[in-house]
Copies of this chain bind each other. A is one copy, B any other.
Amino acid sequence: MPQSLKPKIVFIGAGNLATNLAMALFNGGYQIIQVYSRSQVSAGNLSSKVNSPFTTSLKGIIQNADLYIISVPDKAVREVVEQMPLNKGLVVHTSGSTDISVLSKFGVNGYGVFYPFQTFSKNRIISFENIPICIEASNDDSYNKLYLIASSISNSIIKMDSSTRSWLHLTGVFTNNFTNHLLALSQQISKGKGFDFNLLKPLAIETIQKAFDISPANAQTGPAIRFDIDTIKLHVEKLKEYSPELADIYKALTLSIQSSIHKED
**A residues within 8 Å of B by Cβ?**
16, 73-75, 97, 117-121, 124, 126, 130-132, 156, 158, 160, 164, 166-168, 170-190, 193-208, 210-217, 219-226, 228, 230-231, 234-235, 238-239, 245, 248-250, 252-253, 256-257, 259-260
In chain B, what residue has the closest Cβ to A134?
Answer: B199
Question: CA of A245 to CA of B193 in the docked complex: distance in angstroms?
Answer: 32
**What are 18 A-B interface contacts by the 8 Å CB criterion?**
A73-B226, A97-B235, A117-B203, A119-B206, A132-B202, A168-B199, A173-B224, A175-B186, A175-B200, A176-B204, A177-B224, A178-B257, A179-B207, A180-B207, A180-B219, A181-B224, A183-B208, A187-B216
Query: Which chain B residues lie closer than 8 Å to A184 at the CB level?
Result: 211, 216-217, 220, 260
Question: CA of A176 to CA of B174 in the docked complex: distance in angstroms?
Answer: 14
Q: Say whether A231 contacts B74, CB under 8 Å.
A: yes
**What's the number of copies of this chain in the assembled complex?**
2
* SS class, residues of chain A in contact with chain B: helix
With A164-B193, A167-B238 given, name 18 new contacts (CB 8 A): A74-B231, A75-B230, A97-B231, A97-B235, A117-B200, A117-B203, A119-B210, A164-B194, A174-B182, A178-B257, A180-B211, A183-B208, A183-B216, A204-B208, A204-B212, A208-B208, A245-B259, A252-B252
Query: Which chain B residues lie closer than 8 Å to A225 at the CB level?
Result: 177
Question: CA of A202 to CA of B117 in the docked complex: distance in angstroms?
Answer: 8
Contact of A199 among B158, B170, B190, B193 (CB under 8 A): B158
Shortest C-beta distance, A211 to chain B (Å), equals 5
Question: CA of A170 to CA of B190 in the docked complex: distance in angstroms?
Answer: 10
With A75-B231, A184-B220, A231-B97 known as contacts, the answer to whether A204 contacts B211 (CB < 8 A) is yes
Query: Which chain B residues lie closer than 8 Å to A250 at the CB level?
Result: 173-174
In chain B, what residue has the closest Cβ to A220?
Answer: B180
In chain B, what residue has the closest Cβ to A222?
Answer: B177
| Cβ-closest 7 pairs across A and B | A177-B222, A184-B216, A171-B186, A183-B216, A167-B193, A174-B182, A183-B211
With A203-B175, A206-B118, A252-B249 known as contacts, the answer to whether A170 contacts B239 (CB < 8 A) is yes
Shortest C-beta distance, A61 to chain B (Å), equals 24
Query: Which chain B residues lie closer than 8 Å to A166 at the CB level?
Result: 234, 238
Question: CA of A53 to CA of B120 in the docked complex: distance in angstroms?
Answer: 54
Q: Say whether B248 contacts A199, CB under 8 Å.
A: no
Shortest C-beta distance, A78 to chain B (Å), equals 10
